[in-house]
Chains A and B, each alone.
Chain A
Amino acid sequence: MTSDEDLMLEFQNGSRDAFEELFARYRQPLYRFFRRRIANDARADDLMQETFLAVIRAKVRYEPRSLVRTYLYGIALKQVMADRRWQARRPVTLLSDQEAATPQSEAPIWVKQALSKLEEMDREILMLREYEELSYAEIAKLLHLPLNTVRSRLFRARLALKTLLAGDVCQ
């Protein structure tokens, strides 16, 4: 199977098939990435598409110094940050995101609640490890943190989550 990096280089050279293959590989992972961080289903889908649009726009600037996976999640993280900034500035509308959000019947409510109680950076590290299955080094690169910090924060997050989940279960 052609590696992601080779596909990206082929796409840089004008291969549309290479892009479609990359899209097929990362469409669902990126959609799930956004879906776990954005309440609105349609918005998550939009952001996934915007991530690939950014890849198309910046294809000449891509350098094979890092994995395509890290590159994509780096763009995706920026999209999430921008969306959160927008949400924070955004006034309360008649139809808020909570109302517009697709019901997440598949999400155990206690898991989401416990995650929401974690410190933001710890939560991001934990989610990148557990759901996106990124390595410590990839997470460190994405979040611009030292590797040891990622490891210690990940451990702290897991420890805190265990306590939080145990508390919920006991209640």
Chain B
Amino acid sequence: MPINTHAFSNQEVMAYLDGELSPETAAEITAHLAHCKTCQEIAADLQGVSRQLSGWAVQATDAAGLPAALVAALETRAAEKTVRHRHVSPWRILGNHPWAAVAASLTVLIAGLFFFSSARRPVGYELAPAPMPIQPEQSSVAPMDAPRLQRFANLQSPPKKQETSPLIILTAELRLTARTFDTVRGDLGRILSQFGGHIAQLDIASPTGQARSLTATLRIPAPQLEAALNELRKLGHVEGESRRGEEVTQQSVDLEARLSNSRHTEQRLTEILAARTGKLSDVLEVEEKLAEVRGQIEQAEAEQKSLNNRISLATISLQVNEDYRAPLTGTVSPSIGTRLSNSAMDGLHAAFNGIIGLMQVILAAGPSLLLWGLLLGLPGYFLWKKLRRR
């Protein structure tokens, strides 16, 4: 292919042939191509490649109408939608009954006033958004009418809730300061039993002379998360709160696709094994591969179960610190009289202690001094007396 050194690059010529340029630029290239042999060669080469590629035609699939798997899936969807439509929207009820709308508005207004006037609102956190609703699991599966479509049934039958709404793993963090730390553990147990949750991890630290703290990881059914958080907030003063939702819809779809593929392989291997009449080594090889594929299926199913568990149970990281107040160490300054009296008492104590101390010294050193006095004093005395007589 010739190298183009013109105002238009080779890629621009290609884009022109592909209809990717603006009408103005296309018109300029059209005019340029009319007299530029180099660009004509480039265009001819590119068109030649496209022509050769177009020789690879694929025969159309001969099946007609919607395949049974799609019909079944559509009917399943329609059934789910019918079930959902049975729930009449409250807005529709209010629209049909204006007096009900007025009554509802008044009720909301009064409740709001009551709430804001009487409720003790914790400070230091923002109201968290409501969690994404997870639709209840569907149990109705439309019948599949051909064995070949079994894997589509396999794709359909695991948690139906994953198909109709985004799959969200909900997590929340809550930091509290509690004045009545002693009751926190008991309250925590009560809240968990109330919402059907459980403790995944719990640590309580009670250092001497410092605030106690409780750190726990709680698992709560996802639909109950908001209510459980409301109860937990009552355990103390909210110091911090955060919420997170990780969407795993794509991960779930990929997992389902992996499962579908593995089940397809398993089915195919089983068919081969049933029909095969060849060498024993071949049969053994198929059995070995079948066991391997089943292992992959089990692994994928375990992953799917784990994912579903994380979706159905929200995780709350809770930290409760005791509202610790250190004991007062200072005293009130005493009066002048007290201070003088204290000083006098201190003086007497000092004098008394001095006498005691002197007596202790005398008693401790007296015998030694007496002994050395006699030993050295008597000869000295006689010597002094003799010298005086002379």
A residues apposed to B, CB below 8 Å = 14, 16, 19-20, 23, 27-28, 31-32, 35-36, 45-46, 48-50, 52-54, 56-61, 78-79, 82-83, 86, 89-91, 93-95, 104, 106-108, 111-112, 126, 129-131, 135-136, 151-152, 154-155, 158-159, 161-162, 165
Contact = CB atoms under 8 A, between A and B. Distances in A.
A82 B14 contact: no
B364 interface: no
11 contacts: A27-B61, A28-B60, A28-B61, A57-B73, A57-B253, A58-B163, A94-B278, A95-B268, A130-B54, A136-B20, A162-B49
A36 B56 contact: yes
A161 B53 contact: yes
Which residue, of B164, B257, B262, B282, has the highest number of chain A Cβ atoms within 10 A? B257
Contact of B66 (A23, A126, A155): A23
A58 B57 CA distance: 31
Contacts of A165: 49, 52
B260 interface: yes
B18 A129 contact: yes
A20 B65 CA distance: 8
Interface string B284-324: 01100100100010000000000000000000000000000
Nearest to B20: A136
Interface string B47-78: 01110111111111101001101100110011
Given A19-B74, A130-B54, A161-B53, A60 B155 contact: no
Contacts of B102: none
Contacts of B166: 61
Given A36-B56, A93-B269, A108-B52, 7 more contacts: A36-B58, A82-B257, A83-B261, A91-B292, A93-B272, A162-B1, A162-B49
Which residue, of A54, A58, A91, has the highest number of chain B Cβ atoms within 10 A? A91
Contacts of B155: 50, 53
Given A56-B74, A56-B77, A158-B14, A106 B58 contact: yes
B56 A60 contact: no
Given A129-B18, A151-B15, A54 B69 contact: no
Contacts of B278: 94
Main secondary structure of the interface of A (DSSP, over half): helix
A82 B14 CA distance: 32
Contacts of A28: 60-61
A108 B289 contact: no
A44 to B, nearest CB: 8
A49 B67 contact: yes
Q: How large is the interface on B (under 10, 10 to 19, 20 to 34, 35 or more residues)?
A: 35 or more
B45 interface: yes
Nearest to A102: B59
A103 B8 CA distance: 43
B337 to A, nearest CB: 85
B286 A161 contact: no
B185 interface: no
Contacts of B46: 158
B56 A112 contact: yes
Given A53-B152, A82-B261, A90-B265, A108 B56 contact: yes
B2 to A, nearest CB: 11
Interface of B: 1, 10-11, 14-15, 18, 20, 45-46, 48-50, 52-61, 63, 66-67, 69-70, 73-74, 77-78, 81, 152, 155, 163-166, 249, 253-254, 257-258, 260-262, 264-265, 268-269, 272, 276, 278, 282, 285-286, 289, 292, 296
Contacts of B249: 61
Contacts of A108: 52, 55-56
B54 A16 contact: no
Contacts of A50: 152, 155, 257, 260
A89 B261 CA distance: 11
Contacts of A54: 253
Contacts of A130: 50, 53-54
A53 B261 contact: no
A9 to B, nearest CB: 16
A66 B166 CA distance: 19
A111 B55 contact: yes
Contacts of A94: 272, 276, 278, 282, 285-286
Contacts of B282: 94
B48 to A, nearest CB: 7
Contacts of A135: 20
Contacts of B296: 89
Given A23-B70, A161-B53, A155 B14 contact: yes
Contacts of B11: 151-152, 155
A15 B57 CA distance: 33
Which residue, of A48, A86, A94, A161, has the highest number of chain B Cβ atoms within 10 A? A94
A57 B14 contact: no
A131 to B, nearest CB: 8
Nearest to A105: B59
Nearest to A16: B74
A82 B254 contact: yes
Nearest to A89: B296
